[in-house]
A and B are shown apart, each in its own frame.
Chain A
Amino acid sequence: DIQMTQSPASLSASLGETVTIQCRASEDIYSGLAWYQQKPGKSPQLLIYGASSLQDGVPSRFSGSGSGTQYSLKISSMQTEDEGVYFCQQGLKYPLTFGSGTKLEIK
Chain B
Amino acid sequence: QVNLLQSGAALVKPGASVKLSCKASGYTFTDYYIHWVKQSHGKSLEWIGYINPNSGYTNYNEKFKSKATLTVDKSTNTAYMELSRLTSEDSATYYCTRDYYDGYTDYWGQGVMVTVSS
Q: What residues of chain A have their CB less than 8 Å away from a CB belonging to chain B?
A: 32, 34, 43-46, 49-50, 55, 87, 89-92, 94-101
CB contacts (< 8 Å) of A90 on chain B: these are 103
- A–B Cβ pairs within 8 angstroms, 26 of them: A32-B103, A34-B103, A34-B104, A43-B97, A43-B111, A44-B97, A44-B108, A46-B100, A49-B104, A87-B44, A89-B45, A89-B103, A91-B102, A91-B103, A94-B47, A94-B61, A94-B103, A95-B61, A95-B62, A96-B35, A96-B103, A97-B47, A98-B44, A98-B47, A99-B44, A100-B44
Name the residue of chain A whose CB is nearest to the CB of B106: A46
CB contacts (< 8 Å) of A101 on chain B: these are 43-44
Name the residue among B45, B105, B110 with the largest chain A CB count within 10 angstroms. Answer: B45
Interface size class of B (residues with CB under 8 A): 20 to 34
- Give CA–CA (A46, B105) in the complex, Å: 7
**B88 in the interface, Cβ–Cβ < 8 Å?**
no
Question: Which chain B residues (54-86) contact chain A, with CB distance < 8 Å?
Answer: 59, 61-63
- Give CA–CA (A89, B47) in the complex, Å: 10
Chain B facing A: main interface SS: strand
**One of A46, A55, A92, A95 near B47 (C-beta < 8 A):** A95
**What would 17 more interface pairs be, CB under 8 Å, given A43-B109, A46-B104, A89-B104?**
A32-B103, A34-B103, A43-B95, A43-B97, A43-B108, A44-B45, A44-B97, A45-B108, A49-B102, A87-B45, A90-B103, A91-B103, A94-B59, A95-B61, A97-B47, A98-B44, A101-B43
Please tell me if the beta carbons of A49 and B100 are within 8 angstroms of each other in the complex.
yes
Q: How far is the CB of B29 from chain A (nearest CB, A)?
A: 19
**B31 in the interface, Cβ–Cβ < 8 Å?**
no
CB contacts (< 8 Å) of B44 on chain A: these are 87, 98-101
With A43-B95, A98-B47, A101-B44 given, is the CB distance from A55 to B106 under 8 Å? Answer: yes
CB contacts (< 8 Å) of A94 on chain B: these are 47, 59, 61, 103
CB contacts (< 8 Å) of B104 on chain A: these are 34, 46, 49-50, 89, 91
Name the residue among A44, A99, A100 with the largest chain B CB count within 10 angstroms. Answer: A44
